[in-house]
Amino acid sequence: MYRYFKTIRLFWSTAFASQLEYQLNFLIELLAMLGTLLGSVFILSLFFTGGRQLGDWTWESALVIQGVYTFLDGLTNALLRPNLTEIVNYVREGTLDYVLLKPIDSQFWLSVKKFSFAGLPEIILGLSIVFWASIQTGSSFSIYSLSVFIISLFIGFIILYSVWFLIAASSIWFVKTWNATEVLRALLAAGRYPISAYPIILRFIFTLVLPVAFLTTFPAEAILGDLKLHILFFGLMLSSVFFVLSRLFWKFALRHYTSASS
Amino acid sequence: MPGFKGTLKHFFDRKTFEVHAVTDVSFKITRGEIVGFLGANGAGKTTLLKMMCGLIHPSRGLVDVCGFSPQRRQTAFLKEITLVMGQKQQLIWDLPPMDSFYVNAAVYGLADFEAKERINELADMLEIGEELTRPVRKLSLGQRMKAELLVALLHKPSVLFLDEPTLGLDVNAQARVRSFLSEYNKKTGATILLTSHYMADITALCPRVICIHKGNLFYDGDLDSLANSLSPSREVKVELKNPCSRDQFDKYGEIQDFNDRFISLLVSRDKLTEIISNLLTNFDIIDLEISDPPIDQLIGELFIKGEVN
């Protein structure tokens, strides 16, 4: 286990060093990130001036969802996108060979190799919005609601990761699957708004088929103290199923790996 | 089918078919051997190498490396082997090789002091030092290959799979990689399996070669007897003191080249000594040279013919 922690530490410190290697690029990345932040703050301000109700959510509680969304988007930019979109390249160029011959779990390697620090401010902003907005709604935090919140965030992240990884793993057969991951990002964007803001059919789909509700709505409900415990358990089960599925699928995919020519 | 129409057809109607990259190949390699795999492009060398390190699952047959079944890729097995591909690199492009070394050391569970010791030892053998702290993208191909070898050997593997490790290197760099590999083999007793298109690599390193042609094994043995079986004759060049006529030499062998004082003959190996002594007694000879036809040429012909005599 210690070996895995040490590996992550070295992965991320080298990732940081690689990003610093190109000063201008890093500065532009910081600027781009600042732009994204301003953009999301602007969208939020539109919410404030609206004054309408979204589903059965007040503006303040809808803002919590925005916070969760921003947090997940930051995590996506920091971890999921740099790593999972890279799998396609590993397959296409055949450098996956090197990964598969390391005495370390290949899914672990491919999932945490990189870390983009440009995602960090979004993560911090997201969390700040969550806490600020939930204070505005007048709800008070308890150790209980905080831990349920953390667990449900974790559930949401695992689901997003697993679905994304499943798609990326299919590149073993289809080689290029970048477009599919874009669909996934659109799906995450659907989580910007409370599930109850959608028509009933979409609500059903977003909860059970494409579990968007677990990404943003449920964690927001958790911090607001509204999350039903059975949903949390269902989420734990669903995320475990997705995660196990992603591992099984990866093992299955590797049996079909043919490697690229030398 | 080329062209736009072909592209469309390929998009909608994609046919898959089975290709047998390697069939009916069996051999045994003992610990500490250096074995070269020979074959034309697409003969199946790389497929074979990848099956042995567990990257490709054979559809039929059995592979056993150090008592492991490679395709299961158990940790204990992976710690025993390493793969170096001349065409692909595992070093982090934007960072000095040193950073990649420590990442790999962590992956293999080496402690920092162990890794440091090992890096120094290998760097000495490879005659590389200061370059290891420069970003990989600024290194020459030769320096990069040395660093690639270093990172691949950090965990003291006992079986080395090398897929064209000297590809694209200049003659000196090739020679240095070769001498390193042979030194490493002597020092550690590691088994080395390599493919190369440079015959010099094979002749310098591999007492034993395995030839693959169209996915089949057609020769497994030492390089010298391969050369013998490929060309049963040797080339004898003679420089005479006095000009002689061409027909005087007809009975000794096949005349390759003739201009009154220089004669080049192809003489079969089993009659070589007899013919040489005859030549020396019958003619006034200033200089005599016996040589093998160049091995690359022989192997090249072999790949075209596809069989050993």
What tens digit of pLDDT does each residue of A160-182 get?
999 989 988 888 887 666 667 77
- Residues of A at the B interface, defined by Cβ within 8 angstroms: 3, 6-7, 9-11, 14, 17-18, 21-22, 93-95, 97-98, 100-104, 109, 255, 257-259, 261-262
Query: The complex's ipTM?
Result: 0.82
Token duo for residue A246: 């992603």
Could you list the residue range(s) of the whole structural domain that residue B265 is in? 232-291
Query: Same domain for B157 and B251?
Result: no
Whether residue A258 and residue B56 make contact (CB cut-off 8 A), yes or no, is: yes
How close, in Å, is residue A258 to chain B by CA atoms?
A: 6
Whether residue B90 and residue A95 make contact (CB cut-off 8 A), yes or no, is: yes
Alpha-carbon distance of A66 to A191, in angstroms, equals 8
Query: Same domain for B149 and B183?
Result: yes
Residue B201 lies in a domain: yes
When scoring B103, B164, B167 by the number of chain A Cβ atoms within 10 A, the one with the most, hence best to mutate, is B103
Of B205, B227, B249, at which residue does a domain stop? B227
Alpha-carbon distance of A130 to A136, in angstroms, equals 10
Question: What average pLDDT does range A225-233 have in this prediction?
Answer: 89
Alpha-carbon distance of B115 to B156, in angstroms, equals 11
Q: What is the pLDDT of residue A260?
A: 56
CATH number of the structural domain spanning residue B238 = 3.30.70.980
Element (H, E) at B212: strand B208-213
* Residues on chain A touching B41 (C-beta within 8 angstroms): none
Query: Same domain for B135 and B36?
Result: yes
Give me the total of CB pairs closer than 8 Å, taking one residue from chain A and one from chain B: 78
Query: Same domain for B61 and B159?
Result: yes
Whether residue B83 and residue A101 make contact (CB cut-off 8 A), yes or no, is: yes
Query: Same domain for B165 and B83?
Result: yes
Nearest CA in chain A to B137: A21
Nearest CA in chain A to B161: A101
Query: Same domain for B277 and B210?
Result: no
Query: Same domain for B219 and B244?
Result: no
* pLDDT tier at A92, thresholds 50, 70, 90: confident
Whether residue B103 and residue A22 make contact (CB cut-off 8 A), yes or no, is: no
Query: Same domain for B101 and B174?
Result: yes
Query: Same domain for B73 and B152?
Result: yes
Alpha-carbon distance of B161 to B194, in angstroms, equals 6
Q: Are B92 and B148 in contact (CB under 8 A)?
A: no
Helix (H, G, I), strand (E, B) or coil at A144: helix
Q: What pLDDT, in 10s, does the model give residues B79-122? A: 999 999 988 889 999 899 999 999 999 999 999 999 999 999 99
Q: What is the pLDDT of residue B309?
A: 47
Query: Same domain for B165 and B258?
Result: no
Alpha helix locations (H) across B163-222?
171-188, 199-205
Q: What is the pLDDT of residue A51?
A: 61
Number of domains making up chain B: 2
Q: Could you identify the residue written with the tokens 């109607």?
A: B13
The proportion of chain B whose per-residue pLDDT surpasses 70, expressed as a percent, equals: 95
pLDDT at residue A203 greater than cutoff 90: no
Query: Same domain for B169 and B219?
Result: yes
Nearest CA in chain A to B88: A95
* pLDDT tier at B192, thresholds 50, 70, 90: very high
Residue B2 lies in a domain: no
How close, in Å, is residue B51 to chain A by CA atoms?
A: 10
Residue B130 lies in a domain: yes
Nearest CA in chain B to A101: B78
Give which of B166, B248, B251 is closest to B205, Cα–Cα: B166
Q: What is the pLDDT of residue A233?
A: 94
* Residues on chain B touching A252 (C-beta within 8 angstroms): none
Question: What average pLDDT does range A177-204 have in this prediction?
Answer: 76
Helix (H, G, I), strand (E, B) or coil at B221: strand
Query: Same domain for B58 and B35?
Result: yes
Q: What is the pLDDT of residue A48?
A: 63
Most confident range, picked from A26-35, A150-159, A223-232: A150-159
How close, in Å, is residue B114 to chain A by CA atoms?
A: 15
How close, in Å, is residue A80 to chain B by CA atoms?
A: 19
Q: What pLDDT, in 10s, does the model give residues A47-77? A: 666 666 666 777 778 888 888 988 998 899 8
Alpha-carbon distance of A185 to A189, in angstroms, equals 6
